[in-house]
Amino acid sequence: MIINFSKYAKSLSDEIEDKKAIFDIVIRSEVENTIKEAGLDPELFTLNKDSEQDFFKRPFVYTQEDDSFGDIYYDLVLPDTIFRCSCRITLFQDGQKVESETDIYRLENYKKGNREWEYFNGEDWEEGPGKDFFDFTDFEKN
């Protein structure tokens, strides 16, 4: 039996290129704008490599429980405060339509055991999504 994989290889290659475009056009600009709105410097944030790898290895048809494709995180870890900018991506029609929602969160006094995240509402920080909203092991690696 002879199987032609060229069509599959091309579609996989196209998917990677489409994801790079989504990353460059949608994610980076939204993250940068959200960080600036919170009064912070986007240059200080670093891309969370695990979220980046998940984004690029998932097929376009992948969905999480909330129907989104997933989150891309940019983090800033300071001596007493952690900031996380989260860009949630939802794909429709196998990546032909992209929706995103970008928010920034703050965790103060994390070294003292605080796990209550705050959310930036566009003007000020307010009570956020609660304890353990993000997996804290992401930050323990640093």
pLDDT for the residue 97? 78
Closest by Cα among 87, 108, 98, 109 to 42: 87
pLDDT tens for the chain, 142 residues long, are: 333 434 444 455 677 888 888 888 889 999 999 999 999 999 999 999 999 999 999 887 888 888 888 899 999 999 999 999 999 998 876 556 788 899 999 999 999 999 999 999 999 999 988 787 888 877 776 5
pLDDT at 80: 93
Closest listed residue to residue 85, CA positions, set 26, 34, 141, 142: 34
pLDDT at residue number 2: 38
The confidence score (pLDDT) of residue 21 equals 87
**Closest of 80, 74, 86, 81 to residue 45, by C-alpha:** 74
Q: What is the DSSP string of 77-111?
A: E-SSEEEEEEEEEEEETTTTEEEEEEEEEEEESGG
User: In terms of DSSP bridges, do strands 97-108 and 70-77 run parallel, antiparallel, or are they unpaired?
Assistant: unpaired
pLDDT score of 49: 94
Say if residue 27 is exposed, middle or buried (CB neighbours under 10 Å; 0-12, 13-18, 19+): buried
- Give the model's pLDDT for residue 4: 41
Angle between helices 49-57 and 6-22 (to 10 degrees): 140
